[in-house]
Amino acid sequence: MRFWSARTLSYASVVCAGLMLAGVTFLLATNWWVHRQGHVFRSYDALTDVPAREFAIVPGVGDRNGAIGNRLRNRLLSGLSLYRAHKVNAILVSGVGGDPGSGDEVSSAYGWLVAHGVPPAHIVTDPAGFRTLDTMQRAAKTFGVRSAIVCSQRQHIDRTLFLAHAAGIDAVGFLSRQSDTLTNYEIRLETLKATLAFTDTYLLRRGPRVTGPVGLVASTP
């Protein structure tokens, strides 16, 4: 049986250490860039401070069971507040979905908005918003959104605004209430998502998984 020589093992250790250092550097650098861009694009806590835009975009949270949990409900409340204050003309809800009434998160969000007084003609639904990148790319390319206020929690808003502007949308953020305590897993996951957003945008130049209209419930006049 042939064993590795000490020189080979030493060389392999140096290579592994170099790769790890390069990976960590890339992770930190891409996160810094995405969050820097998010700060440049601006997000607001107070409703009165938010500049008017055409649409409010409410990204989904990936719930295939159609339940409206705290995180999504708070995003919907933000969108509803913007609509009632005449800051936007319409609300686009995006996420994992299917046909109206099928119990998916997009249909549930649509029903929630209608139940709270938003006319169906002022709601656009996108059941093909599998990721934030899909949501923003499809908002621009499929629905013709040019300006928007994105409703999301603070830990997601920089990445979301980064992807919105990469899609060509003049977007600002409106911070939704964060009712859940973030876990270490969620913090690490958001770090990885920021790096993925950078990679998809600049290196892979990735577009949405699905193009064209899919299962629209309503559209703006």
pLDDT at 181: 67
Distinct helix (H) and strand (E) counts, the chain: 6, 6
- Residue 60 in contact with residue 106, Cβ under 8 Å? yes
| Residue ranges of domains in the chain | 29-203
User: Between the CA of residue 197 and those of 21, 50, 85, 159, 200, what are the distances in Å?
Assistant: 21, 25, 32, 7, 5
pLDDT at 84 over 90: yes
pLDDT at 150 over 80: yes
Model pTM score: 0.86
- Summarised one tens digit per residue, pLDDT across range 93-109 is 999 875 544 558 899 99
- Summarised one tens digit per residue, pLDDT across range 2-55 is 556 666 767 677 778 778 888 889 999 999 999 898 888 999 999 999 999 999
pLDDT at 2: 53
DSSP 124-158: EEETB--SHHHHHHHHHHTT---EEEEEE-HHHHH
pLDDT at 58: 98
191: number of Cβ within 10 Å = 16
Average pLDDT over residues 169-178: 95
pLDDT at 186: 83
| Alpha-carbon gap, residue 138 to 158, rounded angstroms | 19
Average pLDDT over residues 111-122: 97
- Summarised one tens digit per residue, pLDDT across range 63-76 is 767 778 899 999 99
Query: In a 10 Å sphere around its CB, with 0-12 CB exposed, 13-18 middle and 19+ buried, how is residue 198 labelled?
Result: buried
Among 146, 150, 190, 164, which residue's Cα sits nearest to residue 37? 164
What residues does 43 pair with on adjacent strands?
173
15: number of Cβ within 10 Å = 10
Task: Give domain 29-203's CATH superfamily.
Answer: HUPs (3.40.50.620)
- Residue 36 in contact with residue 199, Cβ under 8 Å? no
pLDDT at 216: 46
| Alpha-carbon gap, residue 153 to 178, rounded angstroms | 6
- Residue 141 in contact with residue 119, Cβ under 8 Å? no
